[in-house]
A and B are shown apart, each in its own frame.
Chain A
Amino acid sequence: MRKLAISVGLLCLAVTSLSCAHPASSAPAPTPTAAGAALVEVGGGKQAGALGTTLSQPVVVQGNDEQGNGVSGALVSFRGPGHVSFDPPTGLTDSSGQFTTNVSLGGMAGRYQLTAGTMSKTQKVVELKIEEIALGHQEVLGRELSEQYCARCHNPESTAERVSNYDNLETKPHPFTEGDTLNKMSDADLIAIISHGGPALNKSALMPPYGYTLTKSEIQALIAYIRMVSDPPYGAPGIVYAQK
């Protein structure tokens, strides 16, 4: 009698814990009609968006066969750490072998490593890592300031609205993603060069001082943004969220 009661109790616990683990699971994954040998990123990686929000561009991956041609009908599934969500999380590749998903990042600022996976013909799991960046308030503010004050020279890419001044400069500014150079500079160095201009670090006078234009906290925000988007990542601990 007691054994029965215990087993019923355990069963109840198991059911509740299972139902907790899979809250309102979505529609079952479609059945794949083909299998890919490799996954490659087509677009949408290394984006920076405010934490919790949907990234402006969808992430697109392509399932390829051994020859590198797109495979249609292969099942691709995405997963990520923390509260990252995908819309849709799984699906079949389209006629050109591509699968597109909208990614919403988690609620903590930092780098997120997403994993796209598919099953090969030999039942091996093929995975692709994609990195995205979630910006906290400070970094969002830094990005806004960077767009207003810095991007005209520091971003070599031109858009219709903002023609880059990068090519006009004799001494080339460092794009903010250039981690190889910027990661070697300490926060104090960055504060000095932003506040007092290039000559503060024996660099070009073409970099003007912004210490009388931006506030201290604005300069901090800019540095937070620069650190967050640098590639390779800035070595400060605690900003990489690996898959747990």
Chain B
Amino acid sequence: MQTSNENPRSLWNRLFGDPVRAFGVVSIVFLISLAIAPAKHHFSEWRHYQQSYLSMIRGRGEAVTLQRHFQGGIQQIWHPELGVVDRCTTCHVGLKEASLSDVTVQPFRPHPVIPHNPDQLGCVMCHRGQGAATTVEEAHMSTLAWEQPILPARYIESSCGQCHRAPLTGTPQLNEGRHLISRYGCTHCHTVKLPEGGTLKPADDPPSLSHIADKTTREWIFAWLKDPQAYAASARMPNFKLGDDDARDISAFLIANSTPVPGDTLTLPTSARKVAADPTAGASLYGESFCATCHAVQNAAGNVVGGDIGPEITRIGTKAKPEWLAAWIKNPRGYDPPTEMPHYRFADEKVATLTTFLQAKADPDFLANVHLDPATPEQVAHGKLLVTEYGCSSCHEISGIKKPENFAPELTRIGSKPVAQLIFLSGMPHTLPDYIAGKLRQPRAFATGLKMPQYSFTPAQVDAVTTALLSLNDRSQTLPPALRVPGIPESSYQPAGKAGQLMNDLACFSCHRVNGRGSDLAPDLTWEGSSVQRKWLEDFLRNPNTLRPALIRRMPKFNLKPDEITVLSDYIMTVYQAPAFDRDSMPNSGYPPVQVERGRQLYYSKYGCQSCHIVDARADKGYVGPTLTQVGSRLNAAWIYNWLKNPQALRPGTIEPNRNMAEEDARALTAYLMSQKGSGRQEAKK
């Protein structure tokens, strides 16, 4: 009204000159302003979507059902205890209509099947965004008033991790990310507090550097510090991008700081060294001892082949001093008492054979250009300064240097870090996931003077770690306890007595799990005493033979002494018993031939066991389960019977299906299997 500046006076007169006319004009203005709100409502985005939804379903076969389910107006899911006010279902109308699965236009697609009902948790719990908003832009995008945009589908599994701290099926990316965080030891430097108390623990085992001069040379340390992945492609040590001078000084300090450990070097008698002359003996001993179960080697094609429990040993000969390597193979616990490496009881000749074999795995090029002058005291002092500055002792034990506290920013709530607090690289989308992924890719690009080293993650690994980090957020910390699924705490189980010492010495827990402690590489032994017969166990410990034809990782031969075998067998047979049944409740032999024959028929016809197992080595071929040719000498009848009745009760997660087997079938099959004594028994008798 006042905007017309050509002739205000006349316009004013025309509108308000006469009181009646003025009243009319004011009324009209008033009416118009009153109409704004309903008009806004009428032309709102969500109304438009609801109308197009209605016209979409009109043409469909199930229109009546869909129409009945449809509720107009603003819809809301409200969970005050979770802080959830979600109006997403106002536009996402068909979210619960499975029959709309052919619809590809949003916002009308039904929600894919997930373990939760959208009503139960709302939408923003998983998808982020602003739930209370009723326009697309405000709900999905990052705005001035709202920093949390919709989480890209790439990282969606992070939302599962907010509540589920325990391992989860169906979220491979989250699991991988968590595995990487613990395996790469991120939490050595970054603290992550857990909502249930305590902090996240790393699962790597960085070696102590207090005695490093016994193990390797200063030249190797220098080259390793410059580029760890040049030494071993799969090395988890990150690259600190050190200059030559810094690497020189750190190596000088580490060597000067190192103290010898008595007995960590070994000079073998010449008689032992002569035996090592056979060139193929080393390779076969390496194979027989199943070193590749833990250690990987990079082959000619560039593939790293082998396990990742121990370090990659492609170029071990360039790193390890021969006398240290010999002592390590003879007994690794002399140098590193808690190591995951088992103490193989090798005779001196075998130690020499393996040492020679490993020493030949060398790469002269790796140290070809490393020439270091003797260290000066200034270099050593500067090296110590650098070691403190870079926080080396966060991961490695270094005598004389304390492990720093809170060396790097805490990551407990990194998944909720406000975007306003972040500094982005130019050209980078301004979102938190992009920031975290960028930081993992190029940690030092974000400012000068940053210390975080460069990791060698693949793009998929960056995504996985980002997913796991996004799950550490405000919500994960403030969840109602009823919703929290806490992680499984690491068990501190320790077997008692002599057997316990022996099990530590043999590093049984590096592969086997007992009472929650250990690894899942090999069978859980918690109830081993109920499962196997003592005679078989002793034979197996003496000379482990494989039960599974297709397995590449097998139990190595530890060369145990007879009294050690007795101690271990006593302990396993007595202590590791299943509470559910008595091992001796069924006889291990003497079943009537009729029952055995019936079991045989059930085995081959009704239950088709031969698809996975071998009983008759000439006719059967199954590769999935263990070989059963001598199962009657290996397992106890009571174990077999209970296993047949419910395998998952004895070993959760086993792939042997539960057949819901009838009592008499289970007994007949047990009788048949117990009749399979194999040839092993005759040999053992001799």
Q: Does B21 sit within 8 A of A, measured CB to CB?
A: no
A238 contacts which of B103, B115, B607 (Cβ < 8 Å)?
A: B103
Q: Does B44 sit within 8 A of A, measured CB to CB?
A: no
> Interface code B530-564, partner A: CB below 8 Å = 1, 0 otherwise?
00000000000000000000101000000000000
Contact present for B607 and A208 (CB under 8 Å): yes
Contact present for B112 and A54 (CB under 8 Å): no
Q: Does B463 sit within 8 A of A, measured CB to CB?
A: yes
A198 (CB) vs chain B CBs: closest residue: B608
Contact present for A212 and B459 (CB under 8 Å): no
A213 contacts which of B154, B463, B623, B657 (Cβ < 8 Å)?
A: B657
Contact present for A238 and B658 (CB under 8 Å): no
A-B pairs with the 10 shortest C-beta distances? A52-B153, A238-B102, A141-B170, A107-B153, A163-B550, A168-B621, A52-B154, A206-B611, A237-B102, A205-B608
Give Cα A140 to B655, complex, Å.
19
A87 (CB) vs chain B CBs: closest residue: B459
A85 (CB) vs chain B CBs: closest residue: B154
Contact present for B101 and A237 (CB under 8 Å): yes
Q: Known: A152-B624, A209-B659. Contact between A53 and B154, CB under 8 A?
A: yes
Give Cα A161 to B102, complex, Å.
38
Q: Known: A53-B463, A141-B170, A241-B104. Contact between A163 and B608, CB under 8 A?
A: no
Please name 20 further chain A to chain B contacts, defined as beta carbons within 8 Å, in addition to the given A165-B623, A204-B608, sorted by A numbering: A52-B156, A54-B463, A106-B153, A136-B113, A160-B305, A160-B552, A168-B621, A168-B622, A169-B611, A206-B611, A207-B608, A208-B607, A208-B608, A208-B611, A209-B659, A210-B657, A213-B657, A213-B658, A238-B103, A241-B104
Contact residues in B for A107 (Cβ distance below 8 Å): 152-153
Contact present for A212 and B658 (CB under 8 Å): yes
B153 contacts which of A51, A144, A152 (Cβ < 8 Å)?
A: A51
Give Cα A212 to B662, complex, Å.
13
Contact residues in A for B605 (Cβ distance below 8 Å): 205
Contact residues in B for A209 (Cβ distance below 8 Å): 657, 659-660
Interface residues on B, range: 35 or more
Contact present for B459 and A54 (CB under 8 Å): yes
Q: Does A50 sit within 8 A of B, measured CB to CB?
A: yes
Which residues B3-62 have CB closer than 8 A to chain A? Answer: none
Contact present for B459 and A238 (CB under 8 Å): no
Residues of chain B at the chain A interface (Cβ within 8 Å): 101-104, 109, 112-115, 152-157, 169-173, 305, 427, 459-460, 463, 550, 552, 605-608, 610-612, 621-624, 648, 655, 657-660
**B514 CB to closest chain A CB, in angstroms?**
23
Contact residues in B for A137 (Cβ distance below 8 Å): 112-115, 170
Q: List 12 A-B contacts (CB under 8 A).
A: A53-B154, A102-B459, A136-B112, A138-B113, A152-B655, A165-B623, A168-B611, A205-B606, A207-B611, A220-B113, A224-B113, A237-B102
A161 contacts which of B156, B552, B608, B621 (Cβ < 8 Å)?
A: B552
B660 (CB) vs chain A CBs: closest residue: A212
Contact present for A213 and B648 (CB under 8 Å): yes
B653 (CB) vs chain A CBs: closest residue: A148
Contact residues in B for A243 (Cβ distance below 8 Å): none
Give Cα A208 to B623, complex, Å.
15
Give Cα A146 to B142, complex, Å.
39
Contact residues in A for B156 (Cβ distance below 8 Å): 52
Give Cα A160 to B605, complex, Å.
31
Which residues A71-128 have CB closer than 8 A to chain B? Answer: 83, 102, 104, 106-109
A53 (CB) vs chain B CBs: closest residue: B154
Give Cα A149 to B655, complex, Å.
6
Contact present for B624 and A54 (CB under 8 Å): no
Give Cα A161 to B459, complex, Å.
24
Contact present for B623 and A163 (CB under 8 Å): yes
Contact residues in A for B173 (Cβ distance below 8 Å): 50, 53
Contact residues in A for B115 (Cβ distance below 8 Å): 137, 217
Contact residues in A for B114 (Cβ distance below 8 Å): 137-138
> Interface code A190-229, partner B: CB below 8 Å = 1, 0 otherwise?
0000000010000011111111110001001100100000
Give Cα A169 to B153, complex, Å.
40
**A50 CB to closest chain B CB, in angstroms?**
6
Q: Known: A54-B460, A163-B550, A209-B657. Contact between A168 and B623, CB under 8 A?
A: yes
Give Cα A213 to B651, complex, Å.
12
Contact residues in B for A163 (Cβ distance below 8 Å): 550, 623
Q: Does A59 sit within 8 A of B, measured CB to CB?
A: no
Give Cα A221 to B115, complex, Å.
11
Contact present for A165 and B112 (CB under 8 Å): no
Contact residues in A for B153 (Cβ distance below 8 Å): 51-52, 83, 106-107
A140 contacts which of B103, B172, B606, B612 (Cβ < 8 Å)?
A: B172
